[in-house]
Structure 1
Amino acid sequence: MDISEIDKQIAELQKKKEDAIKENKKKAVVDVKKLILDFKVTKGDLRGKAMKQLIGENSLNSSLKN
């Protein structure tokens, strides 16, 4: 097996990975939307402390500084 064959396999696997991520992301969005509707979650429910927990306080603090 030469390097060009390995590069081709890597490219094919990368494409499969991207497709799998895309498909899983679609399912996750559907699941989250259903949960939001089921539990009647509002924007207010996601503000403040809850939002910090979701994205992590450090991420929030660093994004606010920029």
Structure 2
Amino acid sequence: MVRPLPVFRAGRDRTTHQPREVEGRSDMEIVGIVATAVVAVIVVGAAYVGVRSIPDLRRYLKIRHM
């Protein structure tokens, strides 16, 4: 007779517990907020670099057009 492995059995493991909440927010909500903030910072940084490079692009196009 083969006994089932206890790996897939529900018991006192982390899968049976409710998600941990910090000040009323779940772990996944916190991860989502942090990920959104990181993406927003990257987008703002890319926009800043793009705006700063406009004069260089104009100068390059002017030289190339000569």
TM-score, normalization by structure 2: 0.51
Q: Mark the structure with the bigger radius of gyration.
A: 2
Aligned to 2:42: 17
More helix by share: 1
Unpaired runs of 5+ in structure 1? 46-66
The number of residue pairs the alignment matches comes to 41
More strand by share: 2
Give the counterpart letter for 1:11 in structure 2.
T
Give the counterpart letter for 1:18 in structure 2.
V
Ranges of 4+ aligned residues in structure 1 off by more than 3 Å: none
**Separation in 2 of the partners of 1:21 and 1:36?**
21
**Separation in 2 of the partners of 1:20 and 1:14?**
10
TM-score, normalization by structure 1: 0.51
Unpaired runs of 5+ in structure 2? 1-21
